[in-house]
Amino acid sequence: MSTSTLHDGLEALRADRAHEPAASSAVSRLASTFGTPLYVYDRTTIVSQFRSFHTAFASLFPKLRVHYALKANANGAVLAVLRGEGAAPEVVSLGEIVTALRAGWRGDEILFTSSSKGPDEIAKAVEIGAVLNVDSRDELEQAAATAAAAGKRVRISFRINPGVDPHTLHHINTGIPEAKFGLHLDGGLARAAYARATELPSVAITGIHCHIGSQIMETDGYVATARKMLAFVQELKRDLGLSLEFVDLGGGLAVPYHDGEEGLVPAVLADALAPVWSEAMADLAALGGDPPALWLEPGRFFVASSGFLVTRVNTVKTTTVKTFVNVNAGSNTLLRPAMYAAHHRARVVGASGTPEILDVAGDVCETGDILAAERRLPRPRAGDFVVFLDAGAYGFAMASTYNARPLPAEVLVDGDTATLIRRRGTFEDLFRDETK
C-alpha cells in the first residue's frame, strides 16, 4: 500500500521518476477511477504558479492587476482556483465572456480582447461594463455607436502592435508588424485611434494593451515593448491630455517543456521591467500624469505545468524504420505537437527497461499525429500508461472530436483527492446537436 499522495505521484512524473511506485500508483488510481485519456490538473501547482508570479510583480509594481487568459484552460474548477487567488479574466470571445461571468467574475472585471469581434460581442461588452480592448478604427466606431444607442459609455483600451519580435514561434508571435493584431505604433495608427476616441462622447478611454506572443523565453522583447508603450503613454498625456488607468503588457511567459529548462522566471521579468517602468512613471509625473496600473495577462504560465495527459498504450509496433507506441489519445486530444511541433515530455509509467528511441503515436488517422517523436523511453507494453507533461494550457482547450472520438474527461487533484471536473464525452455528445 503506497503512502504517497496523488500530488506526490504527479511530482514524481515531473521529476522523471515515472518508474517509482508513487507515480505508478497515482496514475493507475486515476486511470482506473476516471478512465483514459484523461486530463489531470494539480491544484497545488496552479496556486504556486500564480503566487510566484503575483509576488514577483507585486513587490516592484504597487499598482498591479493580474489577469488570466481564459483561452489557456477555461474549465470552471480551474477558473475557481485562479479567481480565488485574485486573478481577473482576460477573454477573447462572447463564449469566454459567458464563461467568466459563470465563474463569478463581474462584467467590469473583464478585459475583452479579439481582433475580430461581432456586433453581439461588442454589445455584450458594453452591457456588462467590460473593458473592450479595441483592435481597429472600424471596431472603435462600432463600439461607440453601440454604446451611444444603449445610452452608455463603453470603456476601452486599444491593443497596440508595437512591432517587436520576441523570438518565439512564428504562429504565436503576435507583436511583429505583419501580425494581424492591434494598431501599429509605427505610422501613427495608434495615435490617430486615440485621438479619434477622444472625440467620441460614448467612449471612455481607460488604458492601453499589447501582447507580443507566447512561450517567450527572454526579457528583451518585453523590455523593448515596455519602452515603446510607455513612451507612447507619455505622448498621449503630453499631446492629447490623456491619463490612462492601466498599461497592459500582455502574457506570454515561457514555461519549461523540456527537462532541465527553466522557462521565463517571473522575478527575472519583473526585475527587467521595473527600471523602465519607474523611469517612465517619473517622466509621466513631470507631465502631471497619474501613474497607471501595470496589468499582465498570462495564460500558459499559470496552468501549463499543472496539467498531465494520461494515455493508455494500445499497441507497440516496430517497423523497418521506427518503433511506434500507439496510445489512446491523439492530436484531437492534444493538438500542440501536430500544430506547432510543440514538445511535451512523455513518461512511460512503471516500465524500467533500457530506454530506446520510440515514437509515441496518436489514434487519429493523420501521418502527423505523433505526440512525441524520437524519444528515449523504456518500451511499454499494451495496457501501460504514457503520461504527457505540461498539458494544462492549450491542451483540453484545443481538443476536438475529430475522428468521432469523444472529448476526454478532466480531473482536479488536490493533495490526495481527485475530483472529476468534466465528465468524459459520450457518443451521444457527438450527435446531440445534429438536427436530422
For ligand PLP, give the closer residue by CB, 69 or 147: 69
The distance between the two most distant Cα atoms of the chain, rounded to a whole number of Å, is: 73
**Which among 21-29, 184-192, 197-205, 291-299 is the span making contact with ligand PLP, rule CB under 6 A?**
291-299
- Type of residue at 271: D
Count the residues of the shown chain that bind ligand PLP, applying the rule CB under 6 A. Answer: 17
For ligand PLP, give the closer residue by CB, 214 or 305: 214
Q: What are phi and psi of 51, to 5 degrees?
A: -65, -40
For ligand PLP, give the closer residue by CB, 67 or 155: 67
> Running DSSP on this structure, what letter comes out for residue 87?
P
**Which among 16-24, 56-64, 67-75, 349-357 is the span making contact with ligand PLP, rule CB under 6 A?**
67-75
Decide if residue 301 touches ligand PLP (CB under 6 A). Answer: yes
Decide if residue 297 touches ligand PLP (CB under 6 A). Answer: yes
What is the closest distance, in whole angstroms, from the C-beta atom of residue 110 to ligand PLP in the complex? 13
What is the closest distance, in whole angstroms, from the C-beta atom of residue 135 to ligand PLP in the complex? 10
Decide if residue 69 touches ligand PLP (CB under 6 A). Answer: yes
Q: Among 89, 182, 266, 299, which residue interacts with ligand PLP (rule: CB under 6 A)? A: 299
- Type of residue at 300: R
The size of the chain, in residues, is 436
What is the closest distance, in whole angstroms, from the C-beta atom of residue 192 to ligand PLP in the complex? 22
Q: Which residues of 2-36 are buried (b: 16+ CB within 10 A; e: fewer)?
A: eebbbbbbbbbbbeeebbbebbbbbbeebbeebeb
What is the closest distance, in whole angstroms, from the C-beta atom of residue 301 to ligand PLP in the complex? 6
For ligand PLP, give the closer residue by CB, 69 or 193: 69
Q: Name 141's Cβ contacts closer than 8 Å, sequence gap at least 6.
A: none
Decide if residue 214 touches ligand PLP (CB under 6 A). Answer: yes
Decide if residue 72 touches ligand PLP (CB under 6 A). Answer: yes
Catalytic residue, candidates 365, 383, 433, 434: 365
Site string for ligand PLP, 236-255 (x = CB under 6 A): --------------xxxx--
Decide if residue 270 touches ligand PLP (CB under 6 A). Answer: no
Task: Give the DSSP H or E segment for 360.
Answer: strand 356-361
Site string for ligand PLP, 379-398 (x = CB under 6 A): --------------x-----
C-alpha cell at 297: 495577462
Active site residue 365: yes
C-alpha cell at 433: 446537436
CA 56 to chain centroid = 19
**Which residues make beta-bridge pairs with 359?**
324
Q: Cβ distance 307 to 41 under 8 Å?
A: yes
Q: Among 8, 11, 20, 90, which residue interacts with ligand PLP (rule: CB under 6 A)? A: 90
Decide if residue 298 touches ligand PLP (CB under 6 A). Answer: yes
What is the closest distance, in whole angstroms, from the C-beta atom of residue 254 to ligand PLP in the complex? 8
Q: How far apart are CA 297 and CA 222, in angstroms?
A: 13
Decide if residue 162 touches ligand PLP (CB under 6 A). Answer: no
C-alpha cell at 354: 533500457
- Cell 496552468, residue? 303
Q: Name 152's Cβ contacts closer than 8 Å, sequence gap at least 6.
A: 126, 127, 202
Q: Which residues of 357-368 are buried (b: 16+ CB within 10 A; e: fewer)?
A: ebbbbbbbeeee
Question: Where does this chain bind ligand PLP (CB under 6 A)?
Answer: 69, 71-72, 90, 113, 211, 214, 250-253, 297-301, 393
Catalytically active residues are 365
